[in-house]
């Protein structure tokens, strides 16, 4: 679903007509991870520690001061996905170009499920490799990667890294993030620099994404000496003045960077979020809604804010959803608040954050915040009986979940409760 940005165009004079919008998958509020997708994350399951003390009979909930897992205002970033190649993008496109792939689907519709589809794709790729198809080597590795079979993907990419720039790029991501192998940021940075410095035309479509990843390394100080200046320089190169064919993720991250650095540069933040939103970025669409809502970097405009936030929420931006819950509560739309907040608060905190991040390309940190915010306000409505029958026992459970998800935000909201501001 493409974001509507007529409000942004009207106010800042940006013409998006010539830019091709990048479609972003829509995420249903009732989203639940499939068993196949969970394969990628099953190794990362950890038991969550509760941070909320037992219920106080006087009607108050006492929160322990929890250690904040965030590093001040430093963003927790993720790698950029493999950019699309002008000639081939994924195993699905490869299959679409081979009629026999869909012929198998038509003949055996009862076997058309994800597992059988992957098996059939691997068989086809194996045959293509036997015939000497160089592209098939990479596509098999990419299929392993997309299925979360990182060790197999790593082995495949290592085998062809000298001949395939996309394999080099994926190796950079895997070594930096520790996918299928112990994290080695230095090696990840080395592979990304090879992409950025390569004179080969076949690496051209990877350069902006590799520059974004290098900027991330300098921002985090992993594999290189930390330098915000170098990170900013690389992100500006990757963003390429808002080019939709460049790194849209870099455009979004520049918006977040300028709004969190000290001193803040909110006009720049608004500009880059506008560019990223115009190119289809879901994270930036939600960020623009908040900037309009609070008048950060642009004059305050509640109508424009709600337009951005609602559309971002419909497309699966959980942080936008959480902020809408807060808005409904403050405006005393309690029935709408309790209904909307429950959908978000009932996401599975162990698995859904990773899955939603994968589907929407939003940062897990902000997904976490959105869920925590929704959980807290849902608990508050239950505690006071606003828009729903009063249920203090269930309220305690949602307060507990908010604190587990994001203790810093839970403490901040609890402080507002103490001062009778919510």
Q: For position 49, what pLDDT does the model report?
A: 39
- Residue 84 tokens, joined: 């699309």
Mean pLDDT by 10 residues, the chain (422 residues): 42 38 37 31 37 38 42 79 69 54 51 84 94 94 96 97 97 98 98 97 96 98 97 98 96 97 96 98 98 97 97 98 98 97 95 94 96 98 97 97 96 94 92
Say which residues have a Cβ less than 8 Å from residue 343's Cβ, sequence separation at least 6.
Answer: 29, 30, 321
Q: For position 74, what pLDDT does the model report?
A: 82
Tell me how far apart the alpha carbons of residues 383 and 97 are, in angstroms, rounded to a whole number.
57
Q: For position 84, what pLDDT does the model report?
A: 80
Beta partners for residue 63, in sequence order: 52
Tell me how far apart the alpha carbons of residues 235 and 213 are, in angstroms, rounded to a whole number.
9
Say which residues have a Cβ less than 8 Å from residue 415's Cβ, sequence separation at least 6.
Answer: none
Q: For position 85, what pLDDT does the model report?
A: 74
First-residue to last-residue Cα distance in the chain: 34
Tell me how far apart the alpha carbons of residues 285 and 268 are, in angstroms, rounded to a whole number.
15
Q: How far is CA 243 from CA 143, 238, 240, 268, 415, in A?
A: 29, 9, 5, 16, 43
Q: For position 291, what pLDDT does the model report?
A: 98
């Amino acid at each position: 679903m493409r974001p509507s940005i007529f409000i942004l165009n009207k106010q800042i004079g940006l013409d998006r007509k010539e830019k091709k919008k990048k479609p972003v998958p829509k995420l249903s509020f009732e989203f639940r991870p499939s068993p196949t997708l969970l394969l990628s994350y099953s190794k990362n399951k950890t038991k969550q520690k509760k941070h909320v003390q037992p219920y106080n009979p006087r009607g108050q909930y006492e929160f322990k001061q929890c250690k904040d897992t965030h590093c001040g205002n430093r963003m927790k970033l993720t790698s950029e996905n493999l950019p699309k190649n002008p000639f081939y993008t994924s195993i699905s496109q490869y299959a679409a170009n081979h009629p026999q792939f869909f012929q198998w689907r038509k003949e055996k519709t009862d076997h058309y499920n994800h597992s059988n589809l992957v098996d059939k794709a691997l068989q086809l790729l194996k045959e293509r490799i036997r015939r000497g198809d160089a592209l098939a080597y990479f596509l098999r590795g990419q299929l392993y990667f997309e299925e979360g079979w990182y060790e197999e993907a790593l082995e495949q990419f290592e085998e062809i890294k000298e001949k395939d720039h996309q394999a080099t790029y994926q190796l950079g991501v895997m070594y930096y993030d520790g996918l299928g192998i112990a994290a080695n940021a230095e090696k990840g940075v080395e592979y990304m620099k090879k992409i950025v410095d390569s004179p080969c035309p076949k690496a051209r479509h990877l350069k902006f994404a590799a520059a974004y990843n290098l900027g991330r390394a300098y921002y985090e100080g992993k594999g290189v000496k930390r330098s915000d200046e170098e990170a900013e320089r690389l992100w500006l190169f990757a963003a390429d003045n808002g080019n939709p064919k460049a790194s849209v993720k870099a455009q979004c991250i520049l918006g977040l960077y300028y709004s969190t650095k000290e001193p803040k540069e909110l006009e720049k933040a608004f500009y880059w979020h506008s560019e990223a939103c115009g190119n289809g970025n879901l994270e930036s669409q939600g960020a623009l809604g908040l900037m309009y809502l609070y008048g950060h970097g642009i004059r305050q405009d509640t109508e424009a804010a709600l337009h951005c936030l609602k559309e971002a929420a419909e497309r699966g931006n959980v942080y936008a959803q959480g902020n809408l819950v807060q808005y409904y509560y403050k405006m005393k739309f309690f029935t709408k608040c309790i209904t909307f907040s429950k959908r978000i608060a009932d996401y599975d905190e162990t698995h859904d954050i990773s899955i939603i991040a994968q589907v929407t390309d939003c940062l897990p940190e902000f997904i976490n915040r959105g869920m925590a915010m929704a959980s807290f306000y849902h608990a508050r409505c239950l505690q006071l009986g606003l828009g729903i029958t009063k249920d203090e026992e269930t309220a305690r459970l949602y307060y507990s979940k908010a604190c587990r998800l994001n203790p810093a935000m839970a403490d901040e909201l609890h402080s507002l409760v103490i001062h009778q501001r919510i």
